[in-house]
Amino acid sequence: MKKMKKIFAVILSLAMVLGMSMTAFATEVGTKADGTASLTVNGLVPGEETTVSIYKVVKWNAAGSTWELGDGVTADDVALANKPVTINWENFATKRASLQQVGTATVSDGTVTFNGLDIGAYYVYAQSDKTSYNPMGEAVYTYDENTGLMKPADKTIDAKGSTYTLTKAFAGTDGTTTYQVVNRGETVPFTITAVFPSYDKDATDREFQITDEPTGMKVTEVTVKVGGTALTPGTETYSLVSVNNDGSDGDPITLPAEKGQKVRVRFASNYIGENNTHAGQTVTVEVKAQITDAATFANKASSDKGNNTPEVNGKLGSITINKYDENYKADATDNKLLAGAEFSIAPKDGAKIQFVYVGEEGNTSIYKKATAEEIADNNIAKVTNIVAKNGTVVAKGLDDGEYEIVEEKAPAGYSVVEVPNVTIANGDNPVATANVADSKLHSLPHTGGMGTTLFTIAGCAIMVAAAGFFFASRKRVNK
């Protein structure tokens, strides 16, 4: 048994070594050979399946000691008469089908090497589902220091992404990124994912920013990670700035930001550097934002290196309460609304919710759930009883779930009744409605009314009449 354990340990060690050695080698296409060159493409996005193809666009005629145009290449693409030769790499992007392809590969580890190349110039095409790369190319030759003659030379290209796809997700408390209803005042997390761009060696626009644009909310916290490492904001990493109306950088921002204020992550030039140190690394911007609107919210991301603007939209729940008289019928269209009823709302088995009065929309009274800041602000009026001034009241800014409704005060002349619980569903229509029908109170005599007065008068009249008859009968007997 001990020998078996030793054998398994040796096998496991060999497997680990083999695995490590396998990951140490980049993808290679073709065979290395004397008298040929290699072209390595770096800076591709790791983890993305990227198709990389190379095309020979300039040939070397050793016998005639001259450069020649490759298949499908015209003088508009390559100016051989210029010294040095000029190549318009961007011209080849739309004519790849007519060029001479000498190698292709699909890689996901961020790099690929093409071997066995003759002296010449090669156009490199790279594309993934999420990232488009600028047209690029390289000539694989150099001059021998001793003989002064041309010879093959291995070269390396750093791929520069021209456009990157951003993704944005809203993760609820259960960890999912599916649609979820939230309540007003809740702080919700959003994640923006991008790829750190690469830059040409002669690039002058070494800038990179990601902007978060909230609607119906305010940004309270931002965390930036590059390659899985969290960065501390500063002059050597990144800064948070506002965004002017023309899209330019505004003033530095101290969080929490104002409601609806755009927040931009501006990477420092020192962090971007000149050696593409972070090129191809995954960038995540984790944004936390507090919901300030009572009905909807949206959060959009953009970048100066992005080719899309992903947006997450959501809604908040609401409860509509209609107060009717005792003749209410569910299928009727002429039900009579009663004015002045008051209701309280609470999550099932929870405390009554505090609301802020918004105003009247037509004949509907509107209230919104108070945020923690509003509850703490003594200058803002809060209520637990919401009033159906004209018979209908709407409570906005609620989370999904079951709610208890209590009729705290009935309209004049009507009795308080029990109201069934309602449920706000998690989905695209988070609305619940409670139709409440009241009963009239029993009629009572008015204070200071007739009461027993009539009966007293009648009784007295009968007594007087009886006394009259008594004395009249005595008088007749005496005669």
Q: What is the CATH number of the domain that holds 364?
A: 2.60.40.10
| Among 86-90, 238-242, 245-249, the least confident range | 86-90
CATH number at residue 184: 2.60.40.740
Is residue 385 within 8 Å of residue 399, measured between CB atoms?
no
Q: Is 202 helix (H, G, I), strand (E, B) or coil?
A: coil
| Among 72-76, 140-144, 234-238, the least confident range | 140-144
pLDDT at 164: 62
Are 286 and 374 contained in the same domain? no
Say yes or no to pLDDT of 276 above 70.
yes
Say yes or no to pLDDT of 458 above 80.
no
Residue 253 — pLDDT band, cuts 50, 70, 90? Answer: very high
Question: Higher confidence at residue 248 or residue 176?
Answer: 248
Are 174 and 311 contained in the same domain? yes
pLDDT at 21: 34
pLDDT at 275: 80
pLDDT at 3: 37
Are 230 and 141 contained in the same domain? no
Q: In this structure, is residue 53 part of a structural domain?
A: yes
pLDDT at 132: 79
Say yes or no to pLDDT of 457 above 70.
no
Are 329 and 422 contained in the same domain? yes
Residue 473 — pLDDT band, cuts 50, 70, 90? Answer: low
pLDDT at 281: 84
% residues pLDDT > 70 (the chain): 83
Q: What mean pLDDT do residues 427-451 have?
A: 75
| Nearest residue to 187 (alpha-carbon basis) of 197, 172, 199 | 172
Q: Provide the domain count of the chain.
A: 3
Say yes or no to pLDDT of 282 above 60.
yes
Question: Higher confidence at residue 469 or residue 253?
Answer: 253
Question: Higher confidence at residue 418 or residue 177?
Answer: 418
Q: Which domain holds residue 126?
A: 25-159
Q: In this structure, is residue 61 part of a structural domain?
A: yes
Say yes or no to pLDDT of 18 above 50.
no
Q: In this structure, is residue 475 part of a structural domain?
A: no
Are 154 and 180 contained in the same domain? no
The C-alpha angle 450, 452, 458, rounded to 5 degrees, equals 100
Q: What mean pLDDT do residues 200-216 have?
A: 87
Question: Higher confidence at residue 109 or residue 433?
Answer: 433
pLDDT at 168: 57
E-only strand ranges, 227-363: 229-230, 238-243, 249-252, 263-267, 282-291, 296-303, 311-315, 317-324, 341-347, 355-361
Are 197 and 152 contained in the same domain? no
What is the secondary structure of 125-168 as a DSSP string? EEE-SSEEE--EEEE-EEE-TTT--EEE--EEEE--EEEE--EE
Q: Alpha-carbon distance 183 to 181, whole Å? A: 7
pLDDT at 451: 53
Q: What is the DSSP letter of 97?
A: G
Q: Alpha-carbon distance 161 to 22, whole Å? A: 27
pLDDT at 277: 85
Say yes or no to pLDDT of 16 above 80.
no
Q: What mean pLDDT do residues 253-262 have?
A: 96
**Quick check: bond before 347 cis, omega within 30?**
no
Q: What mean pLDDT do residues 6-26 have?
A: 37
pLDDT at 470: 58
Q: 294-347 pLDDT, tens per residue?
A: 999 999 999 988 878 888 888 999 999 999 999 999 999 999 999 999 999 999
Among candidate residues 267, 291, 315, the one where a domain is terminated: 315
Question: Higher confidence at residue 34 or residue 446?
Answer: 34
Q: 93-111 pLDDT, tens per residue?
A: 889 999 999 999 999 988 9
| Among 117-121, 232-236, 298-302, 472-476, the least confident range | 472-476
Say yes or no to pLDDT of 43 above 50.
yes
Question: Higher confidence at residue 279 or residue 447?
Answer: 279
Are 259 and 323 contained in the same domain? no
Are 126 and 153 contained in the same domain? yes
Among candidate residues 315, 343, 377, the one where a domain is terminated: 315
Q: In this structure, is residue 280 part of a structural domain?
A: yes
Mean pLDDT of the residues in the chain: 86
Question: Higher confidence at residue 234 or residue 11?
Answer: 234
pLDDT at 476: 56
Are 189 and 289 contained in the same domain? yes
Q: 57-93 pLDDT, tens per residue?
A: 999 998 888 999 999 999 999 999 888 888 999 899 8
| Nearest residue to 157 (alpha-carbon basis) of 46, 310, 279 | 279
Among candidate residues 159, 177, 212, the one where a domain is terminated: 159
Are 141 and 279 contained in the same domain? no
Q: What are phi and psi of 271, to 5 degrees?
A: -75, -40
**Quick check: bond before 135 cis, omega within 30?**
no
Are 181 and 303 contained in the same domain? yes
Q: 116-141 pLDDT, tens per residue?
A: 999 999 999 999 887 878 889 999 99
Are 174 and 149 contained in the same domain? no
Residue 15 — pLDDT band, cuts 50, 70, 90? Answer: very low
Q: In this structure, is residue 7 part of a structural domain?
A: no
Q: In this structure, is residue 14 part of a structural domain?
A: no
Q: What is the pTM of this model?
A: 0.66
Question: Higher confidence at residue 281 or residue 286?
Answer: 286
Q: What mean pLDDT do residues 145-165 have?
A: 82
Q: In this structure, is residue 466 part of a structural domain?
A: no
Q: 349-363 pLDDT, tens per residue?
A: 999 999 999 999 999
Q: In this structure, is residue 306 part of a structural domain?
A: yes
